[in-house]
Structure 1
Amino acid sequence: MTASQSQLSHALRSQRLNQITHEPHSRLDSLVKSHDPFSSRERFARFVAAQYLFQYDLEKLYNTPALIELVPDLPARCRVKQARLDLADLEHPLPQGDETIREQSLSTGAALAWLFVSEGSKLGAAFLLKRMPALGLSETFGARHLGEPEGGRAQGWKHFVAALDGVVLDAEQERQAEAAAIAAFERFVVHLERCFA
């Protein structure tokens, strides 16, 4: 076992997932930049379409009773409705989502890992929101899905991470969670490529 593997095995689950997804997260960031989604409303609308598809994937997870027991405000955290309204504001057609992720029977660890990726993106959304006035958009028009969550971004993230780190998982469920976090980034890449095709 290397030193970094040893650190991973003892780190909090949220820290492990952060480390494991560092590379796919960096690749996704580079891909987003390559599509230049903040250069025009039309390009931003394609970015929102990808966000909508990802939130559509996770909509059922955000409304799963067993997960709501762990994170009581989970249903309010879903941004599928906001993304849908943003696309209407931007006069962009609503893309057709598929049931690939929605129909999967995910373990608690895997489900939380998918949500970890979605919830983590809200932290970066604060920086994206600052670029919206240049496009004539805001958290009440065209960029609702980037808006400040109730209670604030930092507090919301802190509560989610506490729930994620507090759940007891066995070794197989931990492995499933790690694989799911990487799969979530890969799924967003698929949506992004589709929407910018």
Structure 2
Amino acid sequence: MEVVENKKEVTEILSFAKHLKLSTRTDHDGVDKMVMASKPFENEANYAKFLTLQHIFHLSVAPLYQQADLQDLFPGLAELPRLSAVKLDLMDLGMKPEVDPAALAKVDDVYEAIGWLYCSEGSNIGAAFLYKETQKLNFDANRGARHLAAHEDGRAPHWRKFVAQLDALKLTESQQASAVKGAIDAFDFYKKTLKMAGLSAS
């Protein structure tokens, strides 16, 4: 009985979603620390810079949500991008959603793209705290903070569905390694863009 339980535990630890989480924990934590150190909710000017950062990231990942091979892997993917919500948030602050194409990331490998989607969808879980902070600036799901609002199914149920899709993928070790690389690249891109957006710890 003990042997069976141990095997079950190993299987759970090595699920693809958990493998992604463990392999990118340092990168994820680094992004969290940089974002909070930049004090994006201290005032509207800082929040505007944060929205610029979010816009560049979501504009970079938006094409992945429309990619046919990824839609086959993740049914319902086309309904999930938050780019349009980010654009509306920018306009609420009187900002034009324009970006230099050179500032965008380009993801050509489908397996690396899985890692980028993992970061993009996972950010909606962490956004619960960020969304609450935006209310100090009088923003909410109807103005200024649409893209941080919870999915209509709820944050946790939506994330569990995405995780189930991740774990259902039949990927080789090489393909999984590519997905991990993609996730790390996404976190690195976010950190680089954070600096470009003028957000820095004060």
TM-score, normalized by length of structure 2? 0.87
Instruction: Give the superposition deviation at 1:150.
Output: 2.0
Tell me, yes or no, if the aligned pair for 2:105 and 2:189 is still in contact at 8 Å. Answer: no
Seen in structure 2, the aligned counterparts of structure 1 residues 30 and 155 have a Cα distance that, compared at 3 Å, is same
Residues 134 and 180 of structure 1: CA distance in aligned 2, closer, same or farther (over 3 Å) = same
The whole-number CA distance in structure 2 between the counterparts of 1:34 and 1:25 is 14
Higher alpha-carbon deviation: 54-63 or 86-95: 86-95
In structure 1, runs of 5+ residues without a counterpart are 1-6
Contact 1:8 1:16 in 2 (8 A): no
**Mapped pair 1:92 → 2:95:** yes
1:79 to 74, 77, 82: 82
Q: Is 1:35 equivalent to 2:34 in the alignment? A: no
Secondary structure class of the residue paired with 1:116: helix
* Alignment match, 1:136: 138
Q: Secondary structure at the match of 2:42?
A: coil
Q: Name structure 2 gaps, 5 residues minimum.
A: 1-9
The CA RMSD measured in Å over matched residues stands at: 1.9
| Equivalent residues in 2 for 1:2-151, closer than 5 Å | 11-98=14-101, 101-102=105-106, 104-107=107-110, 109-151=111-153
Instruction: Please give the secondary structure, in 1, of the residue aligned with 2:197.
Output: helix
Q: How many residues align?
A: 189
TM-score normalised by structure 1 residue count:
0.89
Shift of 1:171: 2.0
Higher-Rg member (1/2): 2
Question: What letter corresponds to residue 26 of structure 2 in structure 1?
Answer: E
- In the alignment, is the contact (CA less than 8 A) between 1:87 and 1:93 conserved in 2? yes
What is the rounded CA distance, in whole Å, between the counterparts of 1:87 and 1:120 in structure 2? 22
Report the Cα distance in structure 1 between the residues aligned to 2:198 and 2:70, rounded to whole angstroms: 33
- The structural deviation recorded for 1:88 is 0.8
Match of 2:163 among 161, 164, 179: 161
| CA drift at 1:95 | 4.3
Matches of 1:10 and 1:156, distance apart in 2: 21
Deviations, residues 84-112 of structure 1 (Å, cap 9, x unaligned): 1101111234341436533x4212x3211
Is the 1:57–1:97 Cα contact (8 Å) retained in structure 2? Answer: no
Cα distance in 2 for residues equivalent to 1:26 and 1:166: 26
* Equivalent pair of 1:53/1:95 in contact (CA under 8 Å): no
Structure 1, residues 51-105: CA drift from partner, whole Å, max 9, x if none?
1111111111011112212222212210111111101111234341436533x42
